[in-house]
Structures are given as C-alpha cells and as structure tokens.
Structure 1
Amino acid sequence: MNSKKIIVIGGSAAGPKAASRARRLDENATITIYQKASDLSMASCGYPYYIGGFFNDRNQLLCSPAGVVRDSKFFLNAKNINAVVNTEVTAIDRKNKRIEFTNLLTGEKGSDTYDKLVITTGSSARKPPVEGIDLEGVTTLQSLSDADYLRKIRDEGKIKKAVVVGGGLIGIETCEALHLAGIEITIIELLPQLLTFLDKQMARLVEKYLQTKANVILKNGVTAFLGENGKLTAVKLQNGTEIPCELAVVAIGVSPNTKLAKNAGIEIGHTGGIKVNEYMQTNDPDIYAAGDCVEIPNLITGKSVHAPYGDLANLEGRVVGENVIMGNVAKFPGTIQTGICKVFDYGVGSTGLSEQNALQQGFDTIETVVNASLDKPGFMQGKLLITKLVVNKTNSNILGAQVIGPGEVSKQVAIWAMAIKNHLTVDDMVNADLPYAPPYSLAIDHSIATAHVMQNKLKGLFKGISAKELREKSKNKDPMVLIDVRNPDEYEEMRLGIGEKLIPLGQLRKRLNELPEDKNTEIIAWCKISLRGYEAARVLQAYGYRNVKILEGGIVAWPYQREK
C-alpha cells in the first residue's frame, strides 16, 4: 500500500503542529515542511520577553519542552519529518497536486507532489504607507530577525528614545520590553483608546497605569518617519508634532498571507483570510489551512473573524494533522477570542464580547457590571482585580468578560472563557465550585463575586452607575447627592473630589437627617470597591429612598483624575 504524501507550507506554529500530529497517527506517511525562514517552530509570542531580557538564550524560543532546538535535524531524527528551510513555495498546481519552490540561498528551483496539502503561511505585519518607512531604525516585531534586531539594540544600550506605533497587544508588550532596556518610550495610537478589545473605561484604566511608565498619545497617527543619512531621527504625527527618536516599532496589526492560496484559486473570506470549514478544509478537498492565514467563526456572533493567536494556531494545526491522515474526523468549531497580555505589573485579559462589540453585533438586551476586589486575602498579599462582565439580559447567558489589574488575571479570564464556551448563565456561576485556599483565592472567588453582583443587578437589588456616567453627571452639575461611605483615614488618603459627602457606613443610619427629605432624590454611593457602597444603598432603600445608585467598581475603578 502506498503511503500518504503530505506537504506543509509554513513552519512556524500551525504547520509543525499539523505535521507532528499527522506523524503520530501514521508512521508510514511521507511528511515534508517547506519553510521560507531559516528557523522552525518559533515561539513568536515570546519575542518581547527575549527583547526585554526575561531570558537571554535565543534558542529558548526554538526549543521543545525537553530543551532540544527544533531544527531540521530534530524534525528528521525525532519525528521523521523532512523540514526544508530557507525555501519559498512559489506556486500550487491543484490540478496536478504539485507545488513549486525556490531555495532562497542558492536560487535553485524545484517541485514536489502531494496527496494532501496544508497551508500555514501565517501573517505579515502591516506597515503604514508613509514617507520614511524604510529608514534604518524603523522595524516591526513579526519575525525572529526583528526580535534579534531589537535584542541587539537592548544589549548595546545606545538608543535612549523610541516610539511604538500602535496600542494593541504587540505594541504594549514591545513597550514593556524596550522600557526594561532603559529606553524612553512614546506610544502612538490612532484610535481614541488602547487595546480595542477592552471597553473604554477598562482601557482608560490601563492607559492611566501605562502613563506611569511611558508617554501615551491617542487619536493621532504617524504621517512620516524623518531621518538623516538613512537613519531615523524623529516621527511626525498628524497634528504636526515631531517626536525625536532613534527607534520606531510599528505594531498596527497583521494581515494574513494568502497570495499563494489566492493564486491557486483557494477561496478567500471577507476578512482577508483563507476560508475553511469546521475541518479546516479549504474549497479544495485535498488542501487544508490553519493559523494566522485563515479566518474562523466567532462562536458567539457566528461571523467569521481573523484571530491570529498562537494558541489557536496550534489547536487548528492539530485538527488538520488528524484530518489529513484519518479523513475529516476532527473539528475546530471556532473562537471566542480569548486573549491576555502582560503590561508591566498588570495583567490585561478579555474573552468573548466587550460591551461596545456586543452592541455593534446587534445584542440590544445586554447588562454589564464592574466589580473590583482582591484576588486573595490581604493577609496573603492579595492584589487588585477589576472585572467587567457582559451578559444577555434575556437569558442571563454570559457574553464576555474583561479583567485587568496586578492580581491573577489569567485565572479569571480562563474561568470566564470556559463559562462562555459552555453557554453558562449568571445563575450557573453564582454557586460555582472553584478551589479555595487563602494562598490562591478569596473564600468567594473574585469571579463568583462578580456573578453575585450581576445577579443582584438583574434582580433589581443593585442599581449601578458607571464611572463615565457619573463623570458626565458631575460635569453637567446634575442635582444629586454623592456619598463616600469609607472611613475618614481612607478618605484623606484617596478621594474623587467631585462634591461627595463623607458618611462612613457605620454612621449612615444615625445621619439620615443629613440627606434630603425628598425620597426621589438621586443618591450615588461608593467606597473603595463599592461593596460598602452596595450595603449603604440597601440601607437607604430600606428607609424609603427610591433612586439610589452604586458607583460600579468604586474608587479603584475610577479611570479619571482624582483629587487625591
């Protein structure tokens, strides 16, 4: 019996995963990877941390869990996979099931035939079409050579000022890496907020924290990179400002590499990625695709999205590897777009839909809540978490969650991701059986407490007001009574300073005479995280006040200037 012949185009993440899975399922298949770059299985999400000096051995980016560098020799000896590097596949002949390739070092051309073909050509960094983009000192962070370039800059220590163009995941992580190298950073973002997967209040909290480490400029784009003698000297912005710098890292997103597939008549979707079915199969039944070059369904909206995440690339590659050997037996259903990044001492994560995305997608019956608390008890050095939860009011299904802060963000995002994937409701989450011990969490985990707040809100027990709404009301001088129910020493240490009255929770019942007699008066209460604010609101409601609201997330989730 003839063995199957499988060719994989692309050797970063999805391709090697597909090849390795195929090999484990069929020892006799002939499997070849063609890789345009000189390296294989690069841990590209680790590039910022290599640049930042979290580790110094470049080979760590290429190693297997056992510490062996995954080069061509490794693939041949350990997996019996022929991995051909520095070789670009230039054409796919679907009729004759053949590919054409060129060795980029020698110029030698060749061809190879396949039974099943896997396209994992990845993505390329977007570059703005502006003057000076090719100056020395202007770079992206997409390839290992980019990482090598930036690591060399870090090690030399000569450059003192840099600009990062783009306030997304890669831009923020690059900012930290360069800051750790002692470089003064300015982040330029065309949009009115950083990290567009977050809602504005959450993004504003991240921005406020990031401003303690770097300069942040929003609602401004780059019109030119300025230089002398071929080297970058400054970046010019839309408003005419020129920012002196010797380095600019462009991080404005990526575009799927689909030219090869498109030229072969492979169908491309509306996001620009290769269109695949649930088996990761293209419109050609003998050609599969995975990784950054494809588009996949969003499991909440049903719409196709481009989701260039390293974890998804590996999961998709595994499905492909199984299907090219066994037939279409494995499925990849899609994504809820779960992501996380490290922002200095903050974690920033999101899963599912943000409020603004939910509204854009036509969800018009949503409810949101912001909850702030520690991730574990104070006596175990607990750290702050701020979560915004988005649910569908009609069925209480959880649609999305955003979590930020110095606390254990990853755990929280993982909990919400599993809840969304399994269509859990708020009522499912309020009694979730999660592990508890003081070194790891509060007795009522932050995620469960967030569900409690949402349940109270859905039942009408908790009437919240967002920081944005309160700020607008304050600016408009709307008639309302503002009450801070913390202790005096807390008030002196930190306060909003927008006309609030200090009435500690323990004194509230005795000082009701200080409130207006009109029980319809709007009263807004808060504390540090608004747990005491909620208790104050319940007290006031019990005494007949009908228009009492709680500032969601309290003072710690206030994203604007405070008096103290």
Structure 2
Amino acid sequence: MANKKIIVIGGSSAGPKAAARARRLDQNAEITMFQKGPDLSMASCGFPYYVGGVFDERNKLLNTPTGVVRDPKFYWNAKGIKAVINTEITRIDRENKRVEYINHQTGESGQQEYDKLIIATGATPNMPPVPGINLEGITTLQSMQDADYLRNIRDEGKIKKAVVIGGGLIGIETLEALHLAGIELTLVELFPQLLSFLDWDMAKLIENYLKTKANVITQNGVAEFIGTNGKLEAVKLQNGTQIPCELAVVAIGVKPNIKLAREAGIEIGQLGGILVNQHMQTNDPDIYAAGDCCEIPNLITGKNVLAPYGDLANLEGRVAGENMIMGNTAKFPGTIQTGICKLFDYGAGITGLSEIKAKEAGFDFEVAVNASFDKPKFMGGQLLITKLIAEKNTGQLLGAQCLGPGEVSKQLAIWATAIKAKQTVEDIVCSDLPYAPPFSMAVDHSIATSHVMENKMRRFFKGINGPQLKEKLDNGDAMFILDTRGPDEYENMRLGIGETLIPVGMLRKRVEDLPQDKNTEIITYCQISLRGYEAAMFLQGLGYKNVKVLEGGVAAWPYPKEK
C-alpha cells in the first residue's frame, strides 16, 4: 500500500499542529507543509511582548521549548516533515487532487498531489478604506515582519508619537508595547467602547484605567492618513480632529483567508469563513480546514462564530491532523470563546456569553457583579471584578467577565471549565478549590462570585449595577444612598451622587439618621459592597422593603468619581 500523501497549506499555528499530529500517528506518511512567508510556527500572540522589549531575542518567537528554531531543517530532522517556505499555494485542483504552487523567492512553480489536504491559511488584517493608507509609517501587527518593523522602531527610539487604531485585544496589547518604548500614544476606537466582547460597564473600567497611560478616544474612527513625501505625519479622525504622529498601528480585526478555498469550490459560511464539521472536514471529504480561516460553532448558542485565537487554532489543527490519518476519529465540538489580554498591570477577559450576547440569544438570565481580592491583603492580594451570567430557571452558567490587577487568568480558567461542563451556580458555591494564603482567599473569588449570584437568585437581597443606578439618578428618582465605608475612605474618594456616609460599624447606633418611611428605596454600598451587603441585610431586618446593594461597590463604578 502506497504511503499516504498529506499536504498542509499554512505554517503558522493550525498547520504545524496538524502536520505534527499526522506524523505521530503515521510514521510513513509523506507530509509536506507549505508556508507563504519565511517563518514557521510563529508565536504570534507574543509579538507585542517582543516589540515592547519584554524579551529581546527574536528567535524566542520561533523556538521549541528547548531553544531549537522551528525552521525547515528542524521539521525534516525532528519530524520527517518537508516544510517549504516562501512558497504560496495558488490553486487547489480537487478533481485531480493536487495543488499548484509558486516560490516567491526563486520564481519556481510546480504542482504536487495529495490524498488528504488541510487548509490553514489564517486571516488577514482589516484595513480602513481611507485616503493615505499606503503611507510609510502605517502598519499592522500580524506577521513576524510587522513585529520586526515595530521592534526596530522601539530600538531606534526616534519616533515620539504614535496612534493605535482599534481597541480590541491586539490594539490594547500593542498600546502597552509602544508605551514601554516611551512613545506618546493615542488609542482610537470607532465603537462606543474598547474590548467589544465585554459589556459596556466592564469595558468602561478598562478605559478608565488605560486613560492613566495614554489618550483614549472612542466613538470616532479614522477619516484619513495625512503625510508628506510618502511619510505619515498625522491621523485625521471623522470629527475632523488631527493627531500628529509618525506611526500608526492598525488593529481593527481580521478576516478569514478564504480565496484559495472559495476558488476551489469549498463551502464558505455566512460569516465569511470556511465551513467545517466537527471533524474539521469541509464539504470535500479529502480536504480539512483549521484555524482563523474557519467558522466554528458556539457551544452555548449553537450558532457559528469566527474565533481567531491561537489556542483554538492548535486544537483544531490537532483534530484535523488525526482525522486525515485515522479517518474522523477525533472531534472539535466548538468554542465558548474564551479570551484574555494583558494591559499594563491589569488583565481582562471573558468566557462564554456577555450580557448583550445572552440577550441576543434569547436567554432569561440573572447577572451578578462581585469585587473582591484574589488572595489576602497581607499576601499582596489584588482586586478582581467579575460579572457572572446565569440562566434564571436552571442556574446554568452562561458567561463570566473578569478584570483587574489580580489573577484574572485563574478565574477565567475556572469559569471556562465550568461553562464547558454545563455546570450551574449550585455546582460552584461549594467548589473544592486549592487554598493557601499565597494563592487565594479562603473563599476563592470565583466561589464568592457564585455566592453573590446564589443570594440574588434566592432573593436574599436585591442588586443594582452601576448603569442601572446611573439611569435612576439621571431620571431624578427619589432614593436614599448609603455609603457604608469609613470616613478616611470617604475623604479619599467618593461617588458624589448625593450619598450619606454612615460607616457599617455605626449603623446600629444611627438608625435615627435613616429614612423613617420603610418603603423608601435605599441603595447601599462600600468599596466592594461586602459591607454594603451587611448593611442591606440589617436594614431588611428593620423592616425596610426596598433595599438594593450596588454590586461591585466603588470598585466597579464605571463613571467619574469625586476625589
């Protein structure tokens, strides 16, 4: 029996993983991987940190854990995989089961037959269709060449002002990288908020933090790039504002690379990605696809999504690689779209559905916000703010958003595992998680968040979030707003919304200072609203019938505060 011929198109993430999996399962297969560019297996999510100088050796983005560069020689010697770089596949001939290619370095063209083929062509950065887009000084951060260009700018230290266009994951990480280079920065986002996968109230907390590092402009897009003699000098916004700069990094998302697949008659979905089944198989049984070029199902809504994440690309590639050898024995069920980014001293991320997405999907759900620390203060604990979404009738977890200087990744990992397992709030409230003061609170932040949700769902207290309270204030609703913090905290920073300060330790002695009408709407809070919750329960015990806790307290208040 002839050896199976495997062709992999794409050498970044999904492609190399598929090739490696195929090799491990079949030592005799003839595996060829074609890469359009000069580099293989790039750790592209590490580009911002290379640009920012977190590490200086370029090859660390290409190395194995033992420090060997993943180049064609490595792939052949270590894996028996023929890796062909600087070579683009120009056509897939499905009828004759072969591909046509051209080497952009030598001009050599040719063709090669396959038994099984995987398309892992990735995605291309979106670029704004505005004048001046081709000026020198405008770049993305999608390729190793982009990373080299921006790292060189950092090392030279000549550029003093830059604009980052796009407030998503890559835009914000690029902002940090250029900030580390000492460049004066402006971040421009067309939509009303940064990090569009978060709800507005959570994204606003990120925006408030980033404004301490850079100029942040939302609800304003790019109208034109202005330059002289072919070089960028300014970015003109849609409202007419001109921002002088010598560098602009465009990070407004990506679109799947599907030209090759479309021309070959591979089925494309409504979102513009290649359609695959749970085996990562296309409508051609001998052709698979994986990575950013594909559409995959959201496990909660059942609808297809584009999820251009490096971890998913590797998982999809592994499944496709096995199935090309073993015959559809492996499955990739879909995604819950877990994402995280680092922004200076903060982390921010989501797993599952946001409140907006849960509404769009038609769920009847409850929302809870918790602010607490990742470990005890005496161990250097840092703040975390989590917004949890759960289905009302069943308590099934639908989504969690987390941000802050605390250990965000741990929290998202907990929630992602729980959501994937279709766990409920009840499953989390008594979770047996590891505890020691260097690592967590006795009641971990995730468990404390589930307690807040449980208390709300069991109607032990009523909650109100920042936007809901702001709407009531704007409407002029009659309320008694009770700040239960200490006087020192109040003097240092207060909300300035007409609140009355009664520290929780004084509340029992100052009952006469409370409204006499037990039907008065009372809003209680503190820094994180733990004391606010204690006060609410006390007030309910006194017979007050309309008490609400401001969830997340001062820490989660997304609007200006008085200092």
Same-fold status (TM-score > 0.5) = yes
- Quick one: which amino acid aligns to residue 551 of structure 1? L
The residue that corresponds to 1:390 in the other structure is: 389
1:33/1:84 contact within 8 Å kept: yes
1:400/1:420 contact within 8 Å kept: yes
The residue that corresponds to 1:506 in the other structure is: 505
Question: SS at the partner of 1:154?
Answer: helix
Q: Distance in 1 between matches of 2:168 and 2:247?
A: 18
The residue that corresponds to 2:217 in the other structure is: 217
Report 1:266-415 matches (<5 A): 266-363=266-363, 365-415=364-414
1:533/1:551 contact within 8 Å kept: yes
Q: Distance in 1 between matches of 2:490 and 2:9?
A: 62
Report 1:451-530 matches (<5 A): 451-530=450-529
Question: SS at the partner of 1:68?
Answer: coil
1:389/1:401 contact within 8 Å kept: yes
Name the stretch that deviates more: 299-308 or 506-515: 506-515
1:522/1:548 contact within 8 Å kept: yes
- Quick one: which amino acid aligns to residue 127 of structure 1? M
How far has the Cα of 1:510 moved from its partner? Answer: 2.0
Q: Distance in 1 between matches of 2:399 and 2:461?
A: 20
Instruction: List per-residue Cα deviations over 1:465-493 (Å, max 9, x = no partner).
Output: 11112122223321110111111112112
How far has the Cα of 1:560 moved from its partner? Answer: 1.1
- Is 1:136 the counterpart of 2:136 in the alignment? yes
Q: How many correspondences in the alignment?
A: 563
The list of structure 1 runs, each at least 4 consecutive aligned residues, that deviate by more than 6 angstroms after superposition, is none
1:368/1:390 contact within 8 Å kept: yes
How far has the Cα of 1:194 moved from its partner? Answer: 0.2
The residue that corresponds to 1:115 in the other structure is: 115
Q: Distance in 2 between matches of 1:233 and 1:289?
A: 42
The residue that corresponds to 1:55 in the other structure is: 55
Extract unaligned runs of 5+ from structure 2: none
1:44/1:61 contact within 8 Å kept: yes
Question: SS at the partner of 1:292?
Answer: coil
1:370/1:389 contact within 8 Å kept: yes
RMSD of aligned residue pairs (Cα, Å): 0.6
Q: Distance in 2 between matches of 1:128 and 1:502?
A: 50
Q: Distance in 2 between matches of 1:551 and 1:326?
A: 55
- Quick one: which amino acid aligns to residue 514 of structure 2? L
Question: SS at the partner of 2:494?
Answer: coil
Q: Distance in 1 between matches of 2:265 and 2:4?
A: 24
How far has the Cα of 1:199 moved from its partner? Answer: 0.6
Instruction: List per-residue Cα deviations over 1:40-68 (Å, max 9, x = no partner).
Output: 00000000000000000000000011110
Instruction: List per-residue Cα deviations over 1:249-273 (Å, max 9, x = no partner).
Output: 0000000000000000000011101
Q: Distance in 1 between matches of 2:289 and 2:475?
A: 54
Name the stretch that deviates more: 468-477 or 96-105: 468-477
Q: Distance in 2 between matches of 1:350 and 1:308?
A: 15
- Quick one: which amino acid aligns to residue 420 of structure 2? K
1:370/1:553 contact within 8 Å kept: yes
Question: SS at the partner of 1:279?
Answer: coil
1:453/1:462 contact within 8 Å kept: no
Q: Distance in 2 between matches of 1:462 and 1:37?
A: 58
How far has the Cα of 1:338 moved from its partner? Answer: 0.1
How far has the Cα of 1:516 moved from its partner? Answer: 1.8
Q: Distance in 2 between matches of 1:108 and 1:421?
A: 48
The residue that corresponds to 1:190 in the other structure is: 190
1:256/1:294 contact within 8 Å kept: yes
**TM-score, with normalisation over the residues of structure 1?**
0.99
Instruction: List per-residue Cα deviations over 1:9-68 (Å, max 9, x = no partner).
Output: 000000000000000011000000011000000000000000000000000000011110
- Quick one: which amino acid aligns to residue 108 of structure 1? E
How far has the Cα of 1:431 moved from its partner? Answer: 0.3
Q: Distance in 2 between matches of 1:201 and 1:418?
A: 25
1:222/1:238 contact within 8 Å kept: yes
Instruction: List per-residue Cα deviations over 1:204-226 (Å, max 9, x = no partner).
Output: 00000000001000100101000
How far has the Cα of 1:285 moved from its partner? Answer: 0.2
- Quick one: which amino acid aligns to residue 227 of structure 2? G
